[in-house]
Amino acid sequence: MRQYQRIAVVFYTAILLLIQGSEAMAEERRVVFGGGCFWCMEPPFEQLEGVIDVRAGYSGGTEDDAHYSLVSSGQTEHYEAVEVRYNPEQVTYAELVELFWHQIDPTDSGGQFADRGSHYKTAIFFGDDLEKKTATASKEKLQQSGMFDKPIMTDILPRQPFYPAEEYHQDYYKKNYSHYTSYKKGSGRDYFVNTVWPQKLAQESGTYQRPSETELRTSLTDLQYKVTQKEGTEPPFNNTYWDNKAEGIYVDVVSGEPLFSSLDKFKSGTGWPSFDRPIEGKNIVEKKDRGLFSVRTEVRSKHGDSHLGHVFDDGPPSTGLRYCINSAALRFVPKEKLDSEGYGEFVELFSSDR
């Protein structure tokens, strides 16, 4: 009798686990976005907590099949797209839509960046009325924000069958990292995502702000995230700006707020960018750092709350200070681009009449 009881317990336990597993699977949802080149659309979503999987592919066409040669030659109505599988208890549909906007130029009706053609246009494919309302409201909010002078051209369309792209297209950024990074930069997308969008957000809010954790995870490199969010330190003499001699200003890579000027940069011999003063003292916050068995003065940005580096009292005679800053916490804006990137107030600093 006991043997039958054991069998019954095992049987019902197995049934319970199957039911729980099916319920967990039922929680999974899917959303499809057309954002131009699908190589560039996979990484932002794959890095987001709550996303289960992202596949590159084709969607939005009425044809019964789609593959790269047909779509790229314009023989179908399909868009290059990504299908995002996600857990709605960890990330919402609205958050995914918001992340989508920040990867594209929503005013481009003829493609995306260097990629032209209808298959590179942008679209949000909705699966039900609630998704349609959410996507439409998000689009209208972006249009009304005034962030862009041109109309928002991204389509809001009913979801069509999704056809996965060829295997060599899946996770292309992992398989061919060098070519991917070169392409993303050369196409103009990298600049738009990492420069124009933060600038637009700052202009909308009227101030410099720290992006959401989701945006930080997807817009920063691993090193930038480690330095600015985890108080990390990059290696000396092996970073972007330690020996940069160009004229311009250095802004917070997270918030865009202006921090330092090349006019105040000096060669300290430490292997990190060093400045004798900030360009905007109000954007610098100093805190006591008691790590590494010593007491130092940490330097953080006010609005982005980014860890920048430390300040020491062994600088040049002009101020006696040395702001030792991580390149990974900075973005350099050359003097020729100050006006176009929203930092026109600093143009006069580099005037020949000064």
To which H or E segment does residue 326 belong?
none
Contacts of 87 (CB under 8 A, 6+ apart): 27, 28, 29, 50, 51, 52
What crossing angle do the helices spanning 129-144 and 93-101 adopt, rounded to 10°? 40
Examine the residue annotation and report whether 324 is marked as an active-site residue of this protein: yes
Query: What is the residue type of 187?
Result: S
Closest by alpha carbon to 348, among 267, 226, 263, 284? 263
What b-and-e string marks burial along 84-94, b requiring 16 or more CB atoms within 10 Å of the CB? bebeeeebebe
Q: 40 an active-site residue?
A: no
Name residue 54's beta-bridge partners. 84
- Which member of 84, 324, 325, 333 is catalytic? 324
Q: Can you say whether the dihedral through the CA atoms of 308, 313, 316, 320 is positive or negative?
A: positive
Q: Give the contacts of 141 (CB within 8 A, at least 6 positions apart).
A: none
Select which of 31, 32, 37, 259 is catalytic: 37
**Residue 312, beta-bridge partner list:** 322
For residue 300, how many C-alpha atoms fall within 13 Å in the half-sphere facing its CB? 19
Q: Token digits for 312?
A: 């020491």
Q: For residues 35 and 103, is the Cβ–Cβ distance under 8 A? A: yes
Q: Which residues are catalytic?
A: 37, 324
